[in-house]
Structure 1
Amino acid sequence: MRLKTLLLTGSSLLLVETTAVWAADAPTSVTSTSKNTVATKAAATPATTVPAPQNAPVLAGVEGMQAVQARSAQAYPDYITVSAARRPMRADEIGTAMTIVTEKQILTQQRRTLTDILARQPGLNVVRSGGFGGTTSIFMRGNNANEVKVRLDGMDINDGSSTSGAFDAAQFVTDGMGRIEILRGPQSGLYGADAMAGVIDITTAQGQGRFTPFVRVEGGSYGTFNQVMGARGSKGKFHYNVELSHYRQDGFHEIPRYIGRYFGADKEQRHRGDRNDNRSANIRLGYDVTHNFDLGLTARLIQSNLHTYSSYNMEDEYYSRLGYYGDVSSEREHTTQNQAIVRGTAHLSSFGGRFDQVIGLGYMTGRRSWTETGTTLEGDALQYDPTYYRTSRIKIDWHGTVNLDKYGSLLVGAEHFHDTFNSSQGNSAPSSTPFSTSAGMDTTAGYGQYQGNWNKILYGAANIRYDANSRYGNYVTWRVAPAIHIPHSGTVIKASAGSGFHGPSLYQLFANQISTSYAEKGNPNLRAERLIGYDVGVEQTLAHDKLHFGATWYENHVRNLIQSVSSYENYYSTYSYNNVARARMYGVEAYLDWKALDTLDFNLNYTWTHARDASTGQELQRRPQHKFNFNTTWQPVDGLSLSGNILYVSGARDVPVISDTYQYCSTCGKDHGYFTIDLAASYKINRYVTVFARADNLLNRQYESPIGYLQPGRAGYGGFTLNY
């Protein structure tokens, strides 16, 4: 078995009813720094007194299960951000470039996976190796995927078992997700390591109101069969939301035709498809002990079983038939994954609401196994032992906010992480030897942020953070983010500047994998990657708050980039890591949102990205220069909801699967980009039954992203929701 390395490395009017999505690490009452009160948990009416600010996402009404979920009670409106300052505030009162995605948007567009919803947001490029379940990387503003911090209900969930420590969205379905906040630009001043490009903060929806159970069944192309059931509501001081889901896809073929022709694929190989089976459980529980003290618990459990047949498996079979190496036929890759993310919180508001604090305890664990299955040329079963990757993280955190009235607010906080990693393999193949690597590290951090406004014109925030890591040292990061409101114009000028860092993964530090022809060795002397970034933008509201548009220019400079380095001597290759590279990224993000009618919304965004290696001038891998997304939602009659989406992504440099040279080149290939059209519709037959359907990639565009991995063509899906 050969070594294979895969380098993956808004916006409009206020809604009266929204799903309850109290952030797991934020207080449950909100007061705007403007003269209007935004929302409180005990308020009798949702926050209708605050004018919607610029860049608040358009949300169309939805039916059936969406309507049931909307009855769950009040939430932070879509123009209130929790993540930008670790407390609820208006999005136009801080200079952070951000996008807020609500549960209604996810349900209206029928986006079933986190990958699908993130791929259509400004500033992000999402790359998935094949169909549902394939390894997925999220690039933000041209930065590496491992430089984006992802949080779920306040728990940091970047994958400690992966080579680079990047978050893999492959097996995350959107069921139970009530809100996604995307903060673009360096956020290490509040969130520490891995937040140098930005933060994606996911919150599980909170139940409220009467007991509301539901069942959803969906089927369609590529052997898709999905089932979701759950219930949410509240009883007295207790609220709950529990959802169980099972997603299955069987028969998607990810190998492009030209690769099949090159390797002489037969009919069976051309039709050998992937299979993914995903089971998830999402839980959110809460109890209001008193009027100013509450407890919360969230959990997401994931179990997946993925079988793939990729271009590299086909290549193995090809060279095996020619007798160059190996003895393999009918090869597949088999990956299993078990993941648990749990966090408990206690929230206390003291001194008449002047001091608000949250303490949390979180735990994440993951176990992933990978092997190759199939037969030898003689028909015997392959007997490769799996390679196991295990990781765990314990997080203890506290933060408190002091309300200084007209002088603003002061946030202080502290965190401690303990991370562990283990990889092991038994007697796998003649070319491999058994290995086992275990390592751990601790990080302790403290941070503070001041936030205020002057005469309701100049708003701003400034923060600083100190991180002490037991393996790669101590780092100080900072950020300032002002926002200027030009009176009586609807214009807001935003800007931010800050620093960030990304620490090396435990694998990069301590890998020790040795075989008969190669070795992977960690480098314990690695330093953290460092970034300085800034942006400036303008947002405008017109037409009585029905038209919103804006644009942001950004630029990032990165040094100490960690890259794989290799040496070759006497037919033996050694792979390791070093701080060898620098990079510069700059670009523009723009959006326009229009509430044309009470029942008709238009939203579009555009991203231009320029990302290059500052040492060589070469384009960085998998960073498309242009990305455009357009979405519209329409409710022509009561009970009927329609949605359409157009996505265009230009070509990007990548690793070619087929090359005339026998040397590795990360940017010698370039994909052709892609253009897709999606449609979705739902109709509420009565209060109990809703039917829905959607068509993805309506024009049946055949495209690769990344090179060597075909993405799904035209596909149709349909189903029904039963609710009470």
Structure 2
Amino acid sequence: MSLDVLPRRLSSTLLLIVVPAALAAQGRVDTVTVTPIVVTATRLPTPADAVAPTVTVLQGDALRARGLATVAEALRAVPGAAVVAAGPFGAQTSLFLRGGESDYVKVLVDGVPVNQPGGAFNWANLTLDNVDRIEVLRGPASVLYGSDAVTGVVQIFTRRGAEPSRATAALEAGTYGARHGMAGVSGGGPGASYSVSLSRFSAAGLYPFNNRYRNDVFSGLVRVTPDPRTDATLSVRYTDDVYHFPTDGGGNVVDRNQFNFENGPTLGLDLGRFLTPRLEARLQLAASQTDGGYEDPPDDPADTLGFYTTYRTQDNLRRASAEVRVNVYLSPVSIVTLGAGTEQERERSINFCTGRFGDCSSPPVDTSRGNRAAYAQAVTDLGGRLSLNGGLRVEDNQRFGVFPTYRAGAVYRLTGATRLRVSLGTAFKEPTFFENYATGFVKGNPSLKPEQSRSGEIGVEHGLWDGRVTVSAVSFTQRFRNMIDFTFSPPDSGDPNYFNVAAASADGLELALSLRPLPSLTVAASYTYLRTTVTKPGLDPSAGAAFAAAQPLLRRPRHAAALDAALGLGAHGRVTGDLRYVGPRVDQDFSSFPYPRVTLPGYVRVDMSGALELARSRAGLPGVAVRVRVENLFDRRYDEVLHFPARRRAILVGGELR
């Protein structure tokens, strides 16, 4: 399938920005500024103005200063990102990036994948504690990261320690019984550094019963540089969360004791050494294990009338990978990367239930799959005006065979303050274990192919007033095919319930503005236009189908905007304000069959926060600060998921030693 031409209307918008930007830049003298460095786009430290795909960098300290607690809340300010939470603290939270499916985003913590096999990820439990920065790459990235990196990559970098050593602690409390506590220590010296933190967040929820939530997180990073040519980084993260919820799939409050749980570690080891001044070898090892599931015991001893009287699932997921890559520095600005890796995934699951008709358990599942891959990437800069990058990957999967992907991009600097970007590429997502191997009421399909995409973008960025103002625009187009759909009624008796049948498109425009009119005032604004369309329907012909012909994809707003402002009050205070507009979007009503489509109204939410430093750290004593955050300041009623109301006004007050 050929890549469609970028939408004419969106590309015209770029011309309206490019021409005035180029004219305004004529005759001006550029001011030398520090260019940010990003890693995720090329897996090399690269100046942000030399990267072709769109990358947004969020700084951990700035996010925590706004009173934010989770990565999901931080991502709401990113153009093209639609974050959807099913209500209370701890509820299932999804990210739809540039209109793709919620499992089309690769999630990395210090280079370690934390998605479930097949791409699923619950953003509710990923906290900002001990986070240094977040890089959000939009666009296909399977060339470097393999499966799941279809519409982008979100990589979280743990904070590195530094000299002198310091300890931090924080306590917060607020509405809905919210409690947050964190303690950490970091430090370093010649050749070594460390950073560790331990945190807990808990809440009572917004429903009248059975809505408790608890999330414990340990995070650690140790880095050793025994000599200028060698470095080693060990990353450790452990999470343990439990979420109680009284609702069924349609949002009805019906159950007093059902809950989800998940716990497990992720480990990453990254070793690097320059064998010669022009040749760098790196080895990355990663491992993760997740034990999770769902449990719904009888509400009381007399609870024998429901279809299920006891229901419990238990899943053990393991993933281990090893990758070797070599960076060949042909020149300081021309680098060739060659990489090869292997990965093993395994799932063990049980499903136990009893009901009014006796034992309804499914047979246990114990299966695994392996994957090998090789890739190559080249990046170069020609005369300081043109940056080029390209890559190719060949995946050899134990289940779906050999699959190639590619990516290419270019950056052209019209002036020191104006740059044009263009990139295109392909990506893929492997099926989940359940889609491949489900047994019982649902039958998996071991012959499924990976879901695929082909994407392109063109963008322009221009700086004004010596970098105090930056404007940008990006137009993108994406085509998804071989999308996996579920059907209650397979074509033939004995057929599986999952098939590669659907296809969809997602086209859009991202506009962004950042300015610093005063040294103490920063403002950032963004707008996203998104149009999604099902171009090939699934097997369900009803109006309630997930992939209904010519209909938009679910829960993606066509219009979204964000406005953030931060004002420093002297040397010790700071106030921030955040505004989010989410336009109407289509959802399904799962409270009635056959799940008809409905349109959720748009909403505006405003948050505010303030912080005051009472004492600065000195003479070995920590500094003291207090802060307050008000979420949903105007107490708006809205649903991000139909029949699952969002949190109303919430106030969190706390203090910090730092």
Q: Is the 8 A contact 1:428 1:434 kept in 2?
A: no
- Alpha-carbon contact 1:566-1:575 (below 8 Å) kept: no
Task: Tell me whether 1:370 sits opposite 2:294 in the alignment.
Answer: yes
2:275 to 350, 361, 371: 350
Instruction: List runs of 5+ in structure 2 lacking aligned partners.
Output: 1-30, 537-548, 617-622
Q: Which amino acid is 2:424 matched to?
A: A
Secondary structure at 2:633 match in 1: coil
What does residue range 541-552 of structure 1 map to in structure 2 within 5 Å? 541-552=463-474
Closer, same or farther: CA 50–310 of 1 in aligned 2, 3 Å: farther
| C-alpha displacement of 1:430 | 3.8
Structure 1: 5+ residue stretches without partners: 1-48, 54-78, 254-270, 318-329
Instruction: Confirm or deny: 8 A CA contact 2:247 2:253 kept in the other structure.
Output: no
The answer to whether structure 1 residue 426 and structure 2 residue 352 are counterparts is yes
Q: Closer, same or farther in 2 for the Cα pair 1:179/1:458, shift >3 Å?
A: same
Q: Distance in 1 between matches of 2:459 and 2:212?
A: 44
User: What is the Cα deviation at residue 448 of structure 1?
Assistant: 0.9
Is 2:614 the partner of 1:685?
yes
2:637 counterpart of 1:702: yes
Residue 626 (structure 1) aligns with: 559
Question: How far does the alpha carbon of each residue in 1:9-60 deviate from its partner, in whole angstroms, 9 at most, with x for none?
Answer: xxxxxxxxxxxxxxxxxxxxxxxxxxxxxxxxxxxxxxxx96245xxxxxxx
Partner Cα separation in structure 2 for residue 84 and residue 581 of structure 1:
29
Match of 1:647 in 2: 580
Matched, 1:390 2:316: yes
**Cross-structure match for 1:469:** 397
User: For residues 316 and 430 of structure 1, do their structure 2 counterparts lie closer, same or farther at Cα, with a shift above 3 Å needed?
Assistant: farther
The separation in 1 between residues aligned to 2:344 and 2:212, in whole angstroms, is: 35
* In the alignment, structure 1 residue 713 sits paired with structure 2 residue 648: yes
What percent of counterpart residues are identical?
25
CA separation of 1:374/1:221 partners in 2, compared to 1, >3 Å: closer, same or farther? farther
| Structure 1 counterpart SS, 2:122 | coil
Partner residue of 1:454? 382
Q: Distance in 2 between matches of 1:310 and 1:336?
A: 16
User: Relative to structure 1, is the Cα distance of residues 718 and 85 closer, same or farther in structure 2, using a 3 angstrom cutoff?
Assistant: same
Between 107-116 and 531-540, report the one with greater CA deviation.
107-116
Alignment partner of 1:337 is 2:262: yes
Aligned match of 1:5 = none
Equivalent of 1:277 in 205, 214, 220:
214
**Rounded Cα–Cα distance in structure 1 between residues aligned with 2:464 and 2:475:** 22
Equivalent position SS for 1:386: strand
AA at the equivalent of 1:481: G
1:235 CA displacement = 3.2
Aligned partner of 2:502 in structure 1 is: 581
**Using the alignment, how far apart are the partners of 2:513 and 2:624 within structure 1?**
35
Residue 83 of structure 2 aligns with an amino acid whose one-letter code is: V
Q: TM-score, normalised by structure 2?
A: 0.89
Q: Report the secondary structure of 2:377's partner residue.
A: strand
Alpha-carbon distance between aligned partners in 2 of 1:116 and 1:573, rounded to the nearest angstrom: 44
- Shift in Å, 1:658: 3.9
Report the equivalent of 1:591. 512
When residues 216 and 315 of structure 1 are mapped into structure 2, their CA distance, relative to the original with a 3 A threshold, is closer
Contact 2:209 2:256 in 1 (8 A): no
2-side partners of 1:391 and 1:435: how far apart? 17
Structure 2: distance between partners of 1:604 and 1:575: 47
Q: How does 1:526-605 map to 2 (within 5 A)?
A: 526-567=448-489, 576-605=497-526
Partner of 1:415: 341
Tell me the secondary structure at the aligned position of residue 655 of structure 2. Answer: strand
8 Å contact 1:520–1:574 — kept in the other structure?
no
Q: Distance in 2 between matches of 1:679 and 1:285?
A: 35
Does 1:51 find its partner at 2:33? yes
Cα distance, 1:127 vs structure 2: 1.2
Is contact 2:89–2:205 with CA below 8 Å preserved after alignment?
Answer: no
CA distance 1:149–1:391, shift in 2 (3 Å): same
Structure 1, residues 116-137: CA drift from partner, whole Å, max 9, x if none?
1112211111111222211121
> Which residue identity does 2:294 align to in structure 1?
W
Q: Residue 106 of structure 1: SS of its match in structure 2?
A: helix
Contact 1:252/1:275, CA 8 A, preserved across alignment:
no
C-alpha contact (below 8 Å) 2:251/2:644 kept by paired residues = no
The aligned counterpart of 1:191 is 145
Distance 1:117 1:402 in 2: 36
| 2:435 aligned residue | 508
| Contact 1:644/1:678 (8 A) holds in 2 | yes
Larger RCO, structure (CA 8 Å, separation 6 or more): 1
Are 2:207 and 1:286 aligned?
no
Q: Distance in 2 between matches of 1:587 and 1:508?
A: 30
What displacement does 1:444 show? Answer: 0.7
> Residues 577, 81 of structure 1: CA spacing in aligned structure 2 closer, same or farther, 3 A cutoff?
same
Matched, 1:360 2:265: no
| 1:416 Cα offset (Å) | 0.9
CA change 1:333–1:525 in 2 (3 A) is same
Report the RMSD for the aligned CA atoms in angstroms: 2.1
* Superposition deviation, residue 193 in structure 1: 1.3
How far is the alpha carbon of 1:376 from its aligned partner?
5.1
- Residues 155-174 of structure 1 mapped to structure 2, 5 A cutoff: 155-160=112-117, 165-174=119-128
- TM-superposed CA distance for 1:577, in Å, is 0.7
Greater strand content: 2
SS at match of 1:222: helix
Distance 2:270 2:149 in 1: 22
Distance across 2 between alignment mates of 1:528 and 1:436:
25
Deviations 1:670-689 (A, max 9, x none): 21132110111111101221
Q: Which digits, 9 at most, give the CA deviation of each residue in 1:281-310, with x for residues without a partner?
A: 000012222221122111110001111111
Instruction: Write out per-residue CA displacement over residues 607-634 of structure 1, whole angstroms, 9 at most, x where no aligned residue.
Output: 1110110121111111111110110111
**How far is 1:315 from its partner?**
4.6
1:235-314 to 2 correspondence within 5 Å? 235-253=189-207, 271-272=208-209, 274-312=211-249
Structure 1 residue 167: deviation in Å? 1.8
Matches within 5 A, 1:82-121: 82-121=39-78
Secondary structure, in 3 states, of the residue corresponding to 2:323? strand
Alignment match, 2:604 = 675
The amino acid that maps onto 1:238 is A
Structure 1 residue 433: Cα displacement: 2.4
Contact 1:558/1:584 (<8 A) preserved: yes
Task: State the distance in 1 between where 2:251 and 2:513 align.
Answer: 45
8 Å CA contact 2:142, 2:149 repeated in 1: yes
Say if 1:52 and 1:545, in contact at 8 Å, map to a contact too.
Answer: no
Instruction: Figure out how many residues of one structure are paired with residues of the other and give that number.
Output: 606
TM-score of the pair, normalised by structure 1? 0.81
CA–CA distance in structure 2, aligned partners of residues 336 and 236 of structure 1: 42
Provide the C-alpha distance between the structure 2 equivalents of 1:467 and 1:485, rounded to a whole number of angstroms. Answer: 34
